Every structure is written in C-alpha cells, then in structure tokens.
Amino acid sequence: MAVACIYGQPGSGKTVNATRLPGKSLLLSSDNSALVLKNFDRPNLTIKEVKNFKEFVEAFEAATATKQFDNIITDCLTDLIDAYIVEIRENGFSGDIRQHYLAVYTKVKFLVRKAAFCDTNCVFNCWEDIETVTLPSGEIVNRVSPMLPAKIKQQVCGLCNIVAYVTSANDGKGNRQWYFITEGNPTVMAKDQMFLRKNCMPEDLFKAPEKKKN
C-alpha cells in the first residue's frame, strides 16, 4: 500500500479532502479538526479522538494490525509531535529534554516506515511551514513544506510515496474546487513516486490515472 503526507495552512481543507478517499477510512484526530466533518457526508468514515502521542501510537498500531480499514488518516502529525513536547514540559521534567525529542522523532520515523509495509493506505496530515532556501543559482526563495521538526522532515517526506500540498481554484463555473499539488518546484515541496502526476483530485490520491489512448 502507499503512504502520503498532505499539508497546508490551518483551514486549507486538509481534513475535509483527506477524508474523500474511497473505501473505509479511520481518522485519528488530535486537534479537533474533525468537527468540520459534521457538515459533510462521510458514511464510511470512523473518527477516533487521540488526546496525546501515546494514544495515537496505540490506535495507529492497532488499526494497522486489525486491517479493518482501507485508509488510516492522521490529523495531524504536526500537532501530535508538539503535544508530546508540551506534555513532557507540563509534567515538570527539568533534565535534558533532548532525549525526549530524540524519542518522539525516532518513533515518528518508525511509524511512517511501518505504514509503508502495512495493508492500508496511510495519510499523515501536517500544517504548513514556510522556510527560506537558497537555490543552486544563489537565488533566495520561500518554500512551503510540511511543518515537521527539521531533524526528521527530510526522512519523513522521503519515506512517503506522495507529498502533496492542498490548494484550490475556481472551475469554469466559478465553483471552488480543491486539489493536491504533487509535483515539487523551488517554492513547493511535493512529489508523486506512484504516478508522477503534477496534481490530482483528493479522492484520486492513491488511484492510478487512466492511460491515454494513442
């Protein structure tokens, strides 16, 4: 099966569009974004709230083991990592916190790697980060990418088959339509190892495009 990282600004449509996938889906919700789904018809969606990183890990591993779902959606990975660190600090830890950062970073990489070998498509939603990068030409540009700790961002994105940026545009009738950018460029981190697409509709994230007839 496949692993995708979907990212965008808060309110950009990550939750709504990630749950448009066909089949039976489980949404592991940590940041209360699932509240918006009451406005949409999602008959094949199960929502499970996870209050901390430990609950998320347990729920994720249980879901991959039972093989009851076609898709497992984490909403969102950025919040879960932040929540873990906040939890450690609120518990009064006063020693070298770097060991806890290392522990959660290692666990995140382990889970993303594990997702690649389970019998379920996995989606990890993230918030958007804006970073300044210098191109080989020397030009300095702003690039949007998943909001993940710098120490693991490249590894996590590298382990995902698809990295997609949520955006929208009006169609010919003036109706707003959401889609995923799946081809990277100097200002957008994205990739599609599965089908080499430039973009796709949310419901087609893991669906092979029809081959063009000669």
What DSSP assignment string belongs to 131-176? Answer: EEEE-TTS-EEEEEEE---HHHHHHHHHH-SEEEEEEEEE-TTS-E
Q: What is the pLDDT of residues 141-152, one digit of tens each?
A: 999 999 999 999
Half-sphere exposure of 192 (CA within 13 A, CB side): 19
Answer whether residue 213 is part of any domain: no
Q: What is the pLDDT of residues 125-139, one digit of tens each?
A: 999 999 999 999 999
Q: Read off the tokens for 53.
A: 């990183």
CATH of the domain at 95: 3.40.50
Q: Calculate helix-pair angle for 150-159, 98-115, nearest 10 degrees.
A: 10
Host domain of residue 167 = 3-204
Q: How far apart are CA 214 and CA 35, in angstroms?
A: 46
Question: Residue 26's pLDDT is what?
Answer: 97
- Asked if the model's pLDDT at residue 3 lies above 90, the reply is yes
Answer whether residue 171 is part of any domain: yes
Amino acid residing at 107: K
Question: Residue 97's pLDDT is what?
Answer: 72
Amino acid residing at 188: V
Q: What is the pLDDT of residues 166-193, one digit of tens each?
A: 999 998 888 899 999 999 999 999 999 9
Share of the chain above pLDDT 70, in %: 97
Answer whether residue 108 is part of any domain: yes
Q: How far apart are CA 61 and CA 50, in angstroms?
A: 13
Mean pLDDT of all residues in 10-14: 90
Q: How far apart are CA 8 and CA 6, in angstroms?
A: 7
Answer whether residue 142 is part of any domain: yes
Answer whether residue 209 is part of any domain: no
Answer whether residue 155 is part of any domain: yes
Mean pLDDT of all residues in 60-88: 90
Mean pLDDT of all residues belonging to the chain: 92
Domains contained in the chain, number: 1
Answer whether residue 210 is part of any domain: no
Q: Read off the tokens for 1.
A: 């099966």
Q: Which residues in the chain belong to E strands, given as ranges?
A: 3-8, 25-29, 45-49, 71-75, 121-134, 140-146, 162-170, 176-181, 191-192, 199-200
pLDDT band of 94, cuts 50, 70, 90: low
Question: Residue 185's pLDDT is what?
Answer: 95
Q: Check if the beta carbon of residue 160 is closer than 8 Å to that of residue 4.
A: yes
Q: What distance lies between CA 91 and its chain's CA centroid?
A: 28
Least Cα distance to 22 among 164, 198, 207 occurs for 207
Q: Calculate helix-pair angle for 53-66, 77-90, nearest 10 degrees.
A: 140
Amino acid residing at 84: Y
Q: How many CB atoms lie within 10 A of CB 188?
A: 16
Q: What is the pLDDT of residues 22-34, one digit of tens each?
A: 999 999 999 888 9
Provide the phi-psi class of 21: left if phi over 0, else alpha when psi is between -120 and 50, else beta: beta
